[in-house]
Structure 1
Amino acid sequence: LTDRLAGFSAGGDDYLPKPFHLTELAARLRAALKRSGSVPTATTGDVVLDPVGHSLTVRGTEISLTPTEFRLLAALIAASGDIVRRRELIRAGWPEGAQVSDNTLDQYLTRLRRKLRDSGSELTLTTARGIGHRLS
């Protein structure tokens, strides 16, 4: 109780004691962002990427993504149609210092491309040979 009261006195507006479930943490974050009026979603075409809920929605249907697929798609959406170099995608998708082969990146991009296509999205993941990839 003392720690909670100290947290509120320091300016906090919520407290989550340990141990906690990540789903509860995500729900509290979404609620706090809604209260603030700024839920940070990335929208491109018919795709909505929600970093708080860690979800992808295409035309109102939620699409399941692995955490790495989510990070790669977030980097591609953030580029607003510009080419994202392969090295940048690897930095976005994996922790610093991770040894990631080009083949591994290609496999993840293939799965992302398939999920976008199968969902009926108007967006396509294209390859700029020798340079990188982009959403168009």
Structure 2
Amino acid sequence: MPKILIVEDDPEMGRLIARGLTAEGHETTVVDTGVDALIALSGGDFALAAVDVMLPQMSGFEVARRIRQTGSSLPILLITARDAVEDRVFGLDSGADDYLTKPFAFVELSARVRALLRRDAAADKLVLTVGSVRLDSLAQSATAGGHPLSLSPKEFALLRLLCTHAGQTVGRAVILEEVWGTTQNIDPNIVDQYVSYLRRKLEPGAAGVQIATERGVGYRLQESG
């Protein structure tokens, strides 16, 4: 059960976020100052921090900056009513991974949290091996049967996502969110197009894997027997 730290000085907002995330299976801790956030993080094994920007004593920007100064790669979601471009840029430069502006629908917060947790889990697996396919996320390189694969950045990201969830069907919406960063104003058929590209490059006989289609749902990378 992922533990999420919620840093919010508005008691009602903190309760609402905690209630929603708890209902989705997360364990939550709520604090109302940046200082308390840093204390909680020093003694707790958290999977993510959702931090309001406008906090007493220490802003959410400063909280993010101090977390990164410790060398932590903890996913940080900043939440704020300040939606100017320069504020978002400053937040990301402070070390945040994502930035959500108020007012927001809880379903959007939930989706951002899930995406950050998935991204963090995938980052833990720098080298992935499925069949004879080997991906090195750090070097951004891939081989099949020991031979280099020439992949575009989007093809590499798609193959990494499928390898991370090998044996499981990954939905088109998830692929769009993870590889293209959005499901808005983009033709879902682009997923099918890039899967087709990968299939040709993998050559199942040599790669030892195949990309199976679950009609109406998505795609699944599996070893070919």
Q: Which of 159, 184, 202 is the matching residue for 1:116?
A: 202
CA distance in 2 between counterparts of 1:66 and 1:54 reads: 10
What is the aligned partner in structure 1 of residue 109 from structure 2?
A: none
Higher RCO, 1 vs 2 (CA within 8 Å, ≥6 residues apart): 1
Contact 2:131 2:209 in 1 (8 A): yes
2-side partners of 1:39 and 1:103: how far apart? 28
Structure with the greater alpha carbon radius of gyration: 2
Equivalent residue for 2:155?
69
Identity %: 35
SS at match of 2:220: strand
- 2:193 matched residue in structure 1: 107
Amino acid of the structure 1 residue aligned with 2:214: A
Find the partner of 1:92 among 174, 178, 187.
178
Query: What amino acid is aligned across from residue 160 of structure 2 in structure 1?
Result: A
Q: Please state how far the C-alpha of 1:93 moved relative to its aligned partner.
A: 1.1
TM-score by length of 1: 0.67
List alignment gaps of at least 5 residues for structure 1: 1-9, 13-37
TM-score normalised by length of structure 2:
0.41
Distance 2:192 2:179 in 1: 12
Distance in 1 separating the partners of 2:204 and 2:168? 23
Moved over 2 A (4+): 95-100
- Write out per-residue CA displacement over residues 31-73 of structure 1, whole angstroms, 9 at most, x where no aligned residue: xxxxxxx982011110001111111111111111011111111
What is the rounded CA distance, in whole Å, between the counterparts of 2:70 and 2:180 in structure 1? 34
- The count of corresponding residues between Structure 1 and Structure 2 is 102
For structure 2, the 5+ residue unaligned runs are 1-68, 72-123
